[in-house]
Structure 1
Amino acid sequence: MNIAVIQGSPRSESNSLKVAQFLSESLMSRPGVKTTLVNLKDLNFPNFDDHGELDQAHQLQKALLSADGILFVFPEYNGGMPGAMKNALDYFRAEYNLKPMAATTVSAGPFGGINAWHAFHSWALYVGGILLPNNLKVSNVSSL
């Protein structure tokens, strides 16, 4: 089983990346599980535009298409998903259809990014993802 782990924070010192790396390594410790960690910060997507081909898009598309499931790991920014993450995800649509998806949200506060998770939930249903019932919300992430 191949799981794409998509890290959605645009920050250099990202706590989400630390959590994504931990989860990716934990998943790979299971027999038969392979992960592909994609750090969206490294891909540096420009603002969404339907025109033209992007190398960044091909890298992310390859990870999405080869995945049996997708785990998104991202912080809550002002009650939602990071804009840079949403921008990168908007380059695709068919790649998400009927793909099992889960989210791990992180927050410096006590609620673990619940508002970002709700925004993700709406988006994932809209693009045809199959949402897994269990998701991880990491609160007080800076204390890790």
Structure 2
Amino acid sequence: MTPNQLSEFAWGLARSEKPFLWVVRPDLVFGDSGALPHSFLDETKDRFLLVDWCSQEQIQNHSSVDGFLSHMGWNSTIESLSYGVPTICCPFFAGQQTNCFYACNEWGVGVEINPNVKREEVEVMSGKRGLTIGSVIIGY
């Protein structure tokens, strides 16, 4: 992920006005500018937790989780399906593309965004499309 991609994801999450947990591994961002903008941290301080690791299964199984932004690795995909969590799919390579295709086009439980995402796309789970995806999952 580039520093610009990180910033766009950050501002999309901030603009959703939802509380969120964000796992950002130290090796996730290329280059030296992997820090989140100070204005982002100030704006989200009361509804945001940043960690470098978490038990994904425990998080997705929690009743307060409304959505999951995922690279669509196999484990992430299976856990999202198992716990009924709507997914914003952002695949980067290999099998992630296939998992994303099925989640978005066959199962109707995800929405794909490009890795070169703009902040408006990250907000999608707060809108009508996010509610539709949640309804599909609840119907299973």
Common fold, TM-score beyond 0.5? Answer: no
TM-score interval, normalised by the smaller of the two chains: 0.3 to 0.5
Query: What is the TM-score when the length of structure 1 is the normalising length?
Result: 0.40
| Larger helix fraction of residues | 2
| Larger strand fraction of residues | 1
Query: What is the TM-score when the length of structure 2 is the normalising length?
Result: 0.41
